[in-house]
Chain A
Amino acid sequence: MLYVKDLYKSYEAGKNKYQVLKGVDFHVQHGEFVAVMGPSGSGKTTLLNCISCYIPFDKGAITIGETNLAGQSEDMLAHFRNTKIGFVFQDFMLLDGLTIRENILIPRIIQDEVTPDAEELANKLASLFGISQIMDKYPAEISGGEKQRAAVARSLINHPLIILADEPTGNLDSKSSRAVIEAFGEAKSRMNATICMVTHDSFAASFCDRVILLKDGTVYKQLENGGNQSQFQDDLLSAIKKMNMEI
């Protein structure tokens, strides 16, 4: 589904050049729920932004489905983002002037394809994530957890190949975080969605099938979830502890 091969990305700040990604390699299978973890500055968000085509990368290859993102035109990338990728951001990124229903439908509105089917799907997703009652409200009128579940619903409206989530629980309390992670779980189990989530939260990551640990711009380690969520969280914490001690 998602293949990242030998990915390099650097930033320039004044005269200094910072190499953030130094040859990242990994892949995500169809229907898999994967988390990317790592300390601050390890390149998690940069990696996600490259996969999302929000920022150009220097070297390497990113393939989603059958499409290699390198060298594509701006228009093609925009169309690809709209139809093949779903996004969930840490700060929700809902449009304040639109209702939750309109926000969920925005990817369809961009395509000018707001069909009754799409509206039906929006209602289904709202029902699935427990936000049916707030569909006609505006973002300013609802809680952070509800906003993020609306964002998850928005990410699924186009039946994307993959959902990319950047710290989706970062701005939420534990109850809301759990609701959002459960929403991802529902998307995976009911809609067979493929999800790649960047997170700092080991509890959220423990719901994933696999966790990729990034360190200093490279993949440090990958851990598989054996089925026991609590055990997996413990494994994650010890792996992170070990990684942090290896300076």
Chain B
Amino acid sequence: MNQTVTLNKVEQKLRHANRKHARLYLFCNFTALMIISAYSGLMFSPTIQTAFPSGGDSRKQMNVIFILTLIGCVIFTIYAASLFFRHKSKQLGILMALGASRKRLAPTLFREILLLSSLSSISGIIAGFPFIWIIWNLFRLLLIDSTDMQLDFDFKCLPVSLLFFTLVLTFTCFTAWRYLHKTNIMEVIREEHINEPVRELGKWCGPAGCLLLAAGVLMGYWGPSLYCDLANVMLPPAWMNLLYAPAFAGLYMIMLHAVVHGFRTYKKQPYKNILSRSMMKFQGKQTVNNMIVVALLIAGSCFGIFYIPVTAVGSMMKYAAQPYDYFYCYRADQSIPDESTVRMLAQKHGLRIKDWERFEYITLGYGGITSVMEEDGIHFHEEYDRILSESKTLSEDTWRALSGMDTTVRSGTYLCITNQEQTSYSVSPYAEHITNMVSREQIATKYAGIAVSDFSSLTNTPGCRILNQKDYDRLIEGLTDDWKGFIVRFNIDGKDSYAFADELYRLLVGSTDDTCMVTHYYDRVNKTITNEKGDDWWGDQPSEAPFMRVNPKQINSISFRMGWMYHPDFRILNQNDFLLSTSVLLMMFLFIFIVCLMTALVICYTRCQTIALNNRYIFDDLRKLGASPDFLAKEVRSQCRSVFRTPSLVGMTIIYLIFILLLYGNDWQLVLTELIALCICLGILGIIGVCIYLIYRLTVKNIIKKLKIR
């Protein structure tokens, strides 16, 4: 010992002694920042931005889960920082009690937390990029690879991580400041041992929480559309999102009930698990907060993984149900390969075409109801337009030949073609006029019902309608080739070949000119009418224009394969390329699943460790009172079970019910593909449950080892 021993050096030594606690803080902070950095890096990458249509449901889902993960990480980080300070407080308090002033302690304390926070945050942010790169390329290596999956980063994502980093710094500095400014030094010293009991509510809070949760979800889901209908507005006001608030209150009450009372009744054995229940109760505040975050993250992870079966099952079943191997439409003014060319191509691949048929269709303008915004920019009213949108149109005779059904359409009426589940969005019963867009010949009409087809080319937007033969003949008069088109269908005699389908697909794309390189959203009728009125068509606005056209050079991209209006229905191509053409979407949701589940499990693991280690003196006392290792291990298991089980079950149940609601709410029915998807989702929940159970076992084993129970 000599004069060079300073408070700084002593604090350095104390930091070394407390490195275990610092390590936990570093780990939590690093993990949170890495997750945020990886998620935002992926979300803002051009790869994902291109694949996820702006304003589309998939992007909204991705954003919502990101916000959920962000909230989870914020709570998790705040918890880790609080934990670090709780351990640090005794040391701080002793130094304060022995006369170290705030001014004396502040510089080293702030230096330490700034160093720890910055080090863990910056390394977390940096690690996020290799983390996502490794996962993404593992996906490519082991699951799917496509040209779309070239992962690029856009450093626009950095502000999110940096904002989070600033939040971490602000919170830790504020906590340090708060500790230094406590007037009661004894409180600082004893902070580590202060319990955090939750405010108990009666046993009613569990059932009431379930009701509130259900009410919040239902109100949040249906409230905005109900409001729009009642108030005649296009978009619900932002405050309508508050309708979800009861769901969060409900979630809190359920977790509170689980921590305070448990979901089992102890009437017959009031002393059963009393120790673990009481230990949980007195660590309640943080436990409840953690459990809410875990429930939300598990819900987010399930939401991500459910996307895959829900998307895949519907598509695969649809492809399998196609009555013909090849089915495609094209405009009559395009130089599409004729029958002999296609047959020769098939021959080249050793195939023989059978059942070749070609049918004519025309594109007409149909009347409909449009929403007109009022001057206040909020309310709207509905108006009927005689010419509103385009639709493919078949004659009664063509439909009979195409479908084999003996359908009759009365003159002055039309039928809409829909899919087997009758969920096609292009069915519109409001048209009262049909117009030839060249001669402007117009006839009055009336909706007369639906006809069913298994080809998405006929049921996707802009849809297809059937007219009485006489009405059709009248309206085709004077139509130019660009308003006419053909439908081709054929089968392969024997086993089909992917190479043929792929070559024919590329031939079709290569033979189609730029005027047909448009998406399903492109409506020539609506554009023509709007332009004729001297207005700009909404689809020509700079923000919308990119979503109206497809690029034939990106023939393998999701946007081309899912968006092109003339995309053919080739069974073998669709079946083989489904994963390829949706790979980025599937991978993003798979990534969301992994990240959310990983975060949830890390939080559970950390929380269990904290509860057990904070209560280690109780375990020591119990051991002295003669408790056997089996008894102590049972107590550890009981505590960990509550932390893992309740939020997992609640998260999984909530999201499963929400998915049923979403699928049902789409078209007010659950069709076969949706039911199968829900069964698969149930199976996935089982697998997730097993993963959670394994981590729970690992946590218990680890705690038992740390507490030296065995």
Contacts and interface: CB of A to CB of B under 8 A. Distances in A.
Contacts of B17: 96-98
B185 A110 contact: no
Given A110-B100, A112-B6, A95 B184 contact: no
A55 B183 contact: yes
Contact of A105 (B1, B16, B94): B1
Nearest to B99: A82
B103 A79 contact: no
B183 A95 contact: no
A96 B97 CA distance: 16
Contacts of A56: 183-184
- Which interface residue of A82, A101, A109, A115 has the most chain B CB atoms within 10 A? A109
Contacts of A97: 13-18, 91
Contacts of B95: 95, 106, 110
Interface string A104-124: 011101111011100100100
B10 interface: yes
A110 B98 contact: yes
Contacts of B91: 95, 97
B186 interface: yes
B94 A82 contact: no
B97 A54 contact: yes
Contact of B99 (A79, A96, A112, A114): A79
A28 to B, nearest CB: 20
Contacts of B103: 75
Contact of A81 (B10, B99, B184): B99
Given A97-B13, A98-B13, A109-B10, A115 B98 contact: no
Interface string B97-125: 11111111000000000000000000000
A78 B185 CA distance: 11
B96 interface: yes
A81 B98 contact: yes
A83 B100 CA distance: 10
Contacts of A98: 10, 13-14, 17
A5 to B, nearest CB: 22
A66 interface: no
Contacts of A55: 183-186
B98 A106 contact: yes
Given A97-B17, A106-B10, A119-B1, A87 B98 contact: yes
B186 A75 contact: no
Contacts of B18: 97
A52 interface: yes
- Which interface residue of A80, A110, A116 has the most chain B CB atoms within 10 A? A110
Contacts of B15: 97
Interface residues of A, number: 35
A226 B554 CA distance: 104
A74 interface: yes
A49 interface: yes
Given A78-B99, A78-B101, A98-B13, A110 B184 contact: no
On chain B, which size bracket covers the interface? 20 to 34
Interface string A39-81: 0000000000100101110000000000000000011001111
Overall SS of chain B's interface: helix
B64 interface: no
B1 A87 contact: no
B3 interface: yes
Interface in B59-111: 91, 94-104
Interface string B2-15: 11011100100111
Contacts of B1: 101-102, 105, 114, 119, 122
A115 B3 contact: yes
A97 B183 CA distance: 26
A191 interface: no
Contacts of A74: 101-102
B2 A114 contact: yes
Overall SS of chain A's interface: helix
Contact of A54 (B5, B100, B185): B185
A121 to B, nearest CB: 12
B97 A81 contact: yes
A143 B450 CA distance: 90
A49 B93 CA distance: 13
Contacts of A93: 94, 97, 189
B99 A105 contact: no
Contacts of A119: 1-2
A75 B106 CA distance: 13
Interface string B175-213: 000000001111001000000000000000000000000
Contacts of A112: 6-7
A95 B183 CA distance: 21
Nearest to B188: A54
Contacts of A107: 98-99
A97 B22 CA distance: 14
Contact of A87 (B2, B10, B97): B97
- Which interface residue of A56, A74, A116, A122 has the most chain B CB atoms within 10 A? A74
B97 A52 contact: yes
Contacts of A54: 97, 184-186
B101 A75 contact: yes
A240 B230 CA distance: 79
Contacts of A114: 1-3, 5
A111 B13 CA distance: 17
Nearest to A87: B97
13 contacts: A54-B185, A78-B99, A78-B101, A82-B99, A85-B99, A93-B97, A95-B95, A102-B10, A102-B13, A105-B1, A114-B3, A116-B2, A154-B98
Given A56-B183, A109-B5, 13 more contacts: A54-B185, A55-B184, A78-B101, A93-B189, A95-B14, A97-B15, A97-B91, A102-B1, A102-B5, A105-B1, A114-B1, A115-B3, A119-B1
Interface of A: 49, 52, 54-56, 74-75, 78-83, 85, 87, 93, 95-98, 101-102, 105-107, 109-112, 114-116, 119, 122, 154
Per CB-CB distance, the 7 closest pairs between chain A and chain B, nearest first, are A82-B99, A97-B17, A78-B101, A81-B99, A54-B185, A97-B14, A110-B100
